[in-house]
């Protein structure tokens, strides 16, 4: 049996800011990624990448570089799927 995806809610996500020693998580296309290991490699720099931390970065990402294949690049950094608080408890 496959391991189920971790279900991440907005209240969980908001802690992962990448600041004060915490990991940085973002949401892209409904999936939650830990972008911490990618921070030093981001061509746009760490502060830019951190603009997408602790929130849904889908729109921001799409405004800047929709051609970038984040699914391929971050496949090893997948944390789980993004769900509402209601979906988490039902
Ligand atoms: C380049 C911002 C997330 C991969 C850039 C650049 C900016 C930027 C401003 C342009 C740098 C330059 O040309 O000097 C952001 C913001 C993000 C974000 C605000 C937050 C959502 C990501 C993620 C990935 C990524 C999650 C990959 C997993 C790249 C790549 C480039 C780039 C590959 C070079 C693209 C090219 O030159 O065609 N980013 N980025 N970025 N970023 Fe991001």
* Rounded Cα–Cα distance for residues 46 and 58 (Å): 17
* Three-state secondary structure readout of 75-86: HHHEEEEECCHH
What is the per-residue pLDDT for 2?
77
What is the per-residue pLDDT for 16?
98
**Distance from residue 44's CA to the centre of ligand 1 (Å):** 5
What is the per-residue pLDDT for 90?
67
Q: Which atom of ligand 1 is nearest to the CA of 50?
A: 20
- State the total domains in the chain: 1
DSSP assignments along 21-54, one per residue: T--BEEEETTEEEE-GGGGGG-TT-HHHHHTTTT
Q: Residue 58 domain-assigned?
A: yes
- Whether ligand 1 lies within 6 angstroms of the CB of 52 is answered as yes
Q: Residue 89 domain-assigned?
A: no
Q: Residue 70 domain-assigned?
A: yes
What is the per-residue pLDDT for 69?
98
By alpha-carbon position, which residue is closest to atom 27 of ligand 1?
A: 70
**Distance from residue 41's CA to the centre of ligand 1 (Å):** 10
- Whether ligand 1 lies within 6 angstroms of the CB of 74 is answered as yes
How would you write the pLDDT of the chain (90 residues) with one tens digit per residue? 777 889 999 999 999 999 999 999 999 999 999 999 999 999 999 999 999 999 999 999 999 999 999 999 999 999 999 999 999 876
Sign of CA dihedral 25, 87, 72, 1: positive
Whole domain around residue 29: which residue ranges?
6-83
Q: Residue 15 domain-assigned?
A: yes
Q: Which CATH number does the domain housing residue 26 bear?
A: 3.10.120.10
ipTM of the complex: 0.94
- Of 62, 56, 67, 60, the closest CA to residue 31 belongs to 56
Q: Residue 1 domain-assigned?
A: no
By alpha-carbon position, which residue is closest to atom 28 of ligand 1?
A: 70
């Amino acid at each position: 049996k496959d391991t189920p995806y971790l279900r991440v809610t907005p209240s969980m996500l908001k802690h992962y800011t990448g600041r004060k020693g915490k990991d940085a998580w973002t949401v892209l296309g409904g999936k939650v990624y830990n972008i911490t290991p990618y921070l030093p490699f981001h061509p746009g720099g760490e502060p830019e990448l951190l603009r997408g931390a602790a929130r849904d970065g889908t729109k921001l990402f799409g405004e800047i570089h929709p051609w970038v294949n984040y699914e391929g690049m971050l496949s090893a950094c997948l944390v789980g799927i993004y769900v509402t608080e209601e979906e988490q408890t039902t």
